[in-house]
Amino acid sequence: MFDNIVILTGAGISAESGIPVFRSETGLWEQERVEDVATYDGFVRDKKKVHDFYNKMRLSLADKQPNAAHLALTRLQKEWPKTHAGKVSIVTQNIDNLHEKALSEQVIHMHGELMSILCEKCHASYAFAGESSVDTVCENCNSRGHMRPDIVWFGEMPYFMDEIEQLLSKCSLFMSIGTSGVVYPAAGFSQYARSQGATCIEFNLEQSAVVSNFDWGLYGKASETVPAFVDHLLKTGEALKEPKS
C-alpha cells in the first residue's frame, strides 16, 4: 500500500503534445546551438538572441495541449488523497505549462518555466506571458535591462532541490515518466527514493540509462501506459507489476 507518491516527468511526456526535446543528439534545440540559447555564457554574448528565442518558445505553447498522460496525473493527484493518507507531488524537468493546463496543482519546475521571467538585480521571478527584451522593466524593482528567461541553463543549479529531497525521503512510490536518466541531479532521484524504501517505476519508450534503479518499468507511449497505470492504482491501491523488458 502506498501513501505519498512523487512523480518525475521529463521531455517524453510532453513530446506527444508537440513540445520539442531540450537535449538532442545534434546539439541543436529548435535549430539553435544549445550553447547559444541554453547557457549563461550564450546569454551574455547575445541577450537579444536569447530573449527572441524564448519569446518564440513561449508563443509556441499557445496551441499546445496536455495529452492523456498529463490528464491522468491530474486525476491521480485529485483522487488519491480521498482514499489514502498521503499526497501526490509532481516534479518536472520540463519548462512548458502542460501540467498547469491539465490543472495539476503545485507543480515543481526544477528547470524553470517558459511562462516566468527572472530579474538578475532583485532576484524576483513572476508569471510572464508576453515578449521580453533587453529593455524589459522588472515589475518588482522597476529596473531596466536585468531580465532573463526564468530557465535553469546548463551549468546552473536546479530549483527547489531541498524541497524535492524532502518529498523523495517521504514517498512510498516514485514514478519517473519520459526521462532519459542521464541528466543529474534528476537521474539520481530514483536511487535515492529507493534507498528510502520507495517502490520505483519508470515509464518510457524504452529502458532508461538508470533502469537498474527501478523495481520495474512500463514501456510504450506515456499517453497509453500512464492512464492505464493510474486506473489500476486508483482501483486497487497497488502497482501493477510488469517486467522491465
Active-site pick, 51, 70, 109, 111 = 111
User: 189-227, pLDDT tens digit by residue?
Assistant: 999 999 999 999 999 999 988 899 999 999 999 999 999
Residue 77 belongs to domain with CATH number: 3.40.50.1220
Residues 103, 74: contact at Cβ < 8 Å? yes
Measure Cα distances from 16 to 58, 68, 174, 200 in Å. Answer: 18, 9, 22, 23
User: 62-93, pLDDT tens digit by residue?
Assistant: 999 999 999 999 999 999 988 887 899 999 99
27-41, 62-76, 114-128 — which is least confidently predicted? 27-41
The verdict on 75 and 181 lying in the same domain is yes
The verdict on 192 and 216 lying in the same domain is yes
The verdict on 163 and 146 lying in the same domain is no
Would residue 99 show up in a list of annotated catalytic residues for this protein?
Answer: no
How many domains are contained in the chain? 2
In this structure, the number of other CB atoms found within 10 A of the CB of residue 158 comes to 18
The verdict on 226 and 118 lying in the same domain is no
Cα 145 to Cα 156: distance, rounded to the nearest angstrom:
21
User: Which of 99, 124, 151 corresponds to the end of one domain?
Assistant: 151
In this structure, the number of other CB atoms found within 10 A of the CB of residue 106 comes to 10
First to last CA, the chain: 25
In a domain, residue 182? The reply is yes
Closest residue by Cα to residue 33 from 19, 46, 14? 46
User: 47-58, pLDDT tens digit by residue?
Assistant: 999 999 999 999
The verdict on 142 and 126 lying in the same domain is yes
List for the chain the helix, strand, coil content (%; round to 5). Answer: 35, 20, 40
Angle between helix axes 222-236 and 68-83 (nearest 10 degrees) is: 10
3-state secondary structure of 69: helix
Model confidence, pTM:
0.93
The verdict on 54 and 72 lying in the same domain is no
Instruction: Tell me the residue range of the domain where 167 lies.
Output: 5-18+66-111+159-236
The verdict on 167 and 56 lying in the same domain is no
Cα 199 to Cα 156: distance, rounded to the nearest angstrom:
30
Mean pLDDT, rounded, of the chain: 92
The verdict on 93 and 76 lying in the same domain is yes
In a domain, residue 202? The reply is yes
The verdict on 232 and 184 lying in the same domain is yes
The verdict on 73 and 56 lying in the same domain is no
185 vs 223 pLDDT, higher one: 223
Residue 27: which pLDDT band, with cuts at 50, 70 and 90?
low
Helix (H) / strand (E) element for 108: namely strand 108-109
Cα 43 to Cα 29: distance, rounded to the nearest angstrom:
15
pLDDT at 22 exceeding the cut of 70 = no
The verdict on 124 and 217 lying in the same domain is no
pLDDT number for residue 245: 42
Average pLDDT over residues 109-135: 97
- Sheet (strand 88-92) strand order: 108-109, 88-92, 5-9, 173-177, 199-204, 216-219
Residues with Cβ within 8 Å of residue 142, at least 6 apart in sequence: none
Residues 66, 92: contact at Cβ < 8 Å? no
Residue 242: which pLDDT band, with cuts at 50, 70 and 90?
low
Q: Which three cell numbers stand for residue 229?
A: 497505470
| Amino acid at position 43, single letter | F
